[in-house]
Structure 1
Amino acid sequence: MTTRTLTCATTAGLTRAVRALAREHALDPAVRGRLVLSAAEAAGAALRAGRDTVLEWTYDPDEGVLTVVLRTPPGETGPVAAADLPMAADAVTGEEMVWRLPASPPPPGSAAPGADAGEDAGENAGQDARQDAGQDAGQDFDEAALAAEELRAVVAAADALTAEHRRLKDELAETNSGVLALYVQLDERDEQLRTAHGQTLRELEDALRPPPIKADGLELAVHYEPAGTDAPTGGDLYDWFVLPDGTVHITIVDALGHGVTSTRSALNVTHAVRTLALEGHRLQSIVGRTDEILRPFDRSVMATVLLARIDPATGELWLANGSHPPALLLRRDGAARYLEARGRGIGFPLPGSETPLTERLAPGDLLLLYTDGLTESRRDPIEGEKRLIEAAHKHLQSPTEEVPGAIAEDMHTVILHPDDTLALAVRFTGQ
């Protein structure tokens, strides 16, 4: 392993020497061109300032590695940053820049490349060894041909990169097109799932809420609104049916909690109440008996209950309450009054109702039964009850089927406390 050294005084001499040693070791033309440009840029400042630059190279036959060292004089004209060169240096130490390149051994009998002393030592042509070496190097190869070869290699590499870029761009466009089509398919599938999900939820809601009943002398309508769209059912349920004696029974239940769990509790309450009512139990005993029935099965059930019985023929009204908000009665002339009936709800201490409150409806009177989600949306039940009277007055003359939804819309212009909401309207027509 022999180290050879050459002192170069001009950029042309340095590039010629680097090109010669690169050719001697059969470096790829593109690599050779980058090495020539890097050496010229690294030593350019020093050479322009008239300071010699030392080129040193060593070939290791065991590893097949050519080590090229460029050494510039110390000072401001030292090497440029390695990262800025066409071929980044493997090492930079002091004023030295080192490249290590895979290479082939030089052919037997090859001469060491020299600098162009005709330019560097110039005035005394033929008087020192540097000039002879430079001339010999110039005779060994056609520098212009090598430079053209390097340029062709660089252009070929650039063309290959351009072709690869075009190919990748086409692949990306094709991929994007496929992804877009997939997004469209997923969006369509999502819409189908949303539609099916909504249909299922509507069917579930319809199954939980009994259809309207017909009773001569009464007009009934109901509005239900869940606390959130992700849970279309909650603990606010109602039930209405005609008893064998012709009176209409209405149950309003508000079970503790939200979502499907509270729906189960509310269903248990409404089913128990319906069974007891159809068996002929007195209205004031039903809340207490319902608690007795459900306690062995689910001690966690807590629910407020409002029970109403109306005789469609006479307008006579009976109310039994279990911790539920009071019913609102609006007379045809606009007089409004909350019907306060005493009692405690299912799961409460000492559950049950006291003596039912009785009232007689006149033709045109409107009875509104509801859950606390209607009056407590702004967290103030007293203020909510005042607004409810105002809303009921506003819609007193509206068709009965529009009244519950219109009142709920007025009451929910501002919602500070979202909750399941149920509003049920009964108008006595006397017909």
Structure 2
Amino acid sequence: MAVPSSNLAAEYQSLKPEIDEAIMRVLASGNYVLGEELEAFEEAFAEYQNARFAMGVGSGTASLHLALEAMDLQPGDEVITVPNTDNPTASVVTHAGAKVVLADTTGDTFNMDPEKLEQYITPRTKVILPVHLFGHPADMDPIMEIADHHGITVIEDACLAIGAEYKGRRMGTYGPLGCFSVAPGKILGGYGDGGMIVSNDPDMAERIRVLRNYGHAPRVPRFPGDLTGGKWTVLEEGFNQRLDTIQAAILRAKLPTLDDRIAGRRRAAAIYREIFEGTPVTAAHEEPWAKHVYFAYNAMLDNRDEAQDYMNSRGIPARLIYNPPLHLHPAYSWMGLGPGSLPTAEYTASRMLGLPCFPQITESQVEEVATTLVKFAKGG
């Protein structure tokens, strides 16, 4: 049985009336940049994530970049993050004028390891940037305790973790800014690039609104002849990183049913866990204090590369996601971190295999994937 890696078309069909109405409403309005549709989605997203404010931006990468820009980093400042993430987590640090420092991870959640964190802190450390990898929250209490002790700001990379929870609390509000992606295929995805930033700090929220829109003061005229009374004032050199109004309307139409789709991912993960129990395949881990939203489902096993070939040859997409870790890529050779430098991240990466896990996957499809992988692991 061939199994897809995702089914975004089916997701659209399940919400077609709501999404089509949202698109046509925006087109008919004539307002395609910022405006009421974006503000309505921002309010709804903030409420969903239990934050005071949410700001729509151009992408998940832009959310991280703008958040770091708002920290006013200087040359020589350091930002600590993890190596087993997509490279924008690290590249935005460079683009914001600072130096990225990679810290080793845990062996089960693949997230930043608080027990190892302090060894990477120096007098130049200004930001700790934990990643809630694949939708599982990082262990935020000890991370925040360490950060507070050293006077370091925490910015969350929650791009894969909309709806995830740490001890009953949604992600994104542990520090001044939390960053999310709403690109296609993400936990909540539109039909083009997009990102969100949440905050409980009104001044920080206003700074993001300025940075995303060229550096213009908020509520300036949006087009020639606008008679709303706003005055055009450029407060700083910002960026063109606004969430498109039409994407905001689509995302707002999809948000009310998001918990149902997360439940579909979690059902698939539960079936995987049950089938993998007692086999050579290690199921994806979920801490008791976490609500994992399973943007991706990564099992672990020996002979991973052979397992990937075995699965793919049988019509089952098996992926290596953010693998190998960043420090082993040419772009980060300047760090001088060869094999063995971050041993836990490297070990888990060598055994990790991404399996299909999306809201519309059926029980029979999950069973086919899982039993096929177990058959390989048992020598089949």
Question: What is the TM-score when the length of structure 1 is the normalising length?
Answer: 0.19
Work out which structure has the larger RCO, using CA pairs closer than 8 Å and 6 or more positions apart in sequence. Answer: 2
Larger radius of gyration: 1
Structure 1 or 2: more strand by fraction: 1
Question: What is the TM-score when the length of structure 2 is the normalising length?
Answer: 0.21
